[in-house]
Structure 1
Amino acid sequence: MINSELLPYCMGKPGAEQSVHSDWKATQIKVADVLFAMVHDMENRPAVSLKTSPELAELLRNEHSDVRPSARLNKAHWSTVYLDGSLPDSQIYYLVDASYQLVVNSLPEEARKQLPR
């Protein structure tokens, strides 16, 4: 998988908005102005940084060499997943879904109600 394949999937989430973080050369995907995915290159490889529970982050990092603590975000909650590595595309899509849902669940009720369905 490459970045241009993952970006449309992220943008297909209800309320997803895209911006560019020029300092990090990354595309940030947010819902209600809260980051849930950051698509970028890391070590000249396509990658995405995603939010998870600390327990899932630790499990993924222990089982997959292509999942690492995020270099620029809270390492307890954010992992960088290489898109061209050992994780199957289906698992990457699942992690995007989980990151999005984690962020949506943390939004105030009023913000959740305003999301398109």
Structure 2
Amino acid sequence: MYDQLTTYCLSKKGAVQDYPFGPDPLVMKVGGKMFALLTKAGDDREVRISLKCDPVIAANLREQHECVLPGYHLNKKHWNTVIADGRLPMGDLETMIDHSYDLVLGTLTKAAREAVLLRIDGK
């Protein structure tokens, strides 16, 4: 699951991986800002991904799914941590990654956003 999530995050335009906190966790960024944080616990069986989320949607997801928790060591209003253990299908996780990426991309300045898109599209 960890590799699938990493691959999907890196498929987003301008996404890069970083290790600003040491060898773990893996931080995914766009335009220098974090949109996902991935960790593996213990024997690598428990994978968690933290994602930015609209506060109303974040609360709804937590109510609907036991595996969606307030963001661990993050602003709990704007971040969820998801235990990626199969209870949520990969398609749902991808939708949550897309939402996080879009929120973070939207916070970039127009110039930074264009730089991300131009660097990838080559225009």
Q: Verify: 1:9 aligned to 2:3, yes or no.
A: no
Dislocated runs of 4+, deviation >2 Å: 41-44
Gaps of at least 5 residues in structure 1 are none
Q: Within 2, Cα distance between the matches of 1:59 and 1:108?
A: 29
Q: Secondary structure at the match of 1:18?
A: strand
Amino acid corresponding to residue 105 of structure 1 in structure 2: G
- Given that 1:49 and 1:80 are in contact with CA atoms closer than 8 Å, whether structure 2 keeps it comes out as yes
Answer with 1 or 2: which has the greater Rg. Answer: 2
Identical columns (%): 35
Amino acid corresponding to residue 16 of structure 1 in structure 2: A
Q: Secondary structure at the match of 1:71?
A: coil
Task: Give CA-to-partner distance per residue, 1:67-106, whole Å, 9 cap, x none.
Answer: 0011111110010011114211110000001100111111
Q: Match of 2:33? A: 34
Gaps of at least 5 residues in structure 2 are none
Q: TM-score by structure 1 length? A: 0.91
- Given that 1:66 and 1:85 are in contact with CA atoms closer than 8 Å, whether structure 2 keeps it comes out as no
Count residues in correspondence.
115
Q: TM-score by structure 2 length? A: 0.87
Q: Within 1, Cα distance between the matches of 2:25 and 2:111?
A: 29
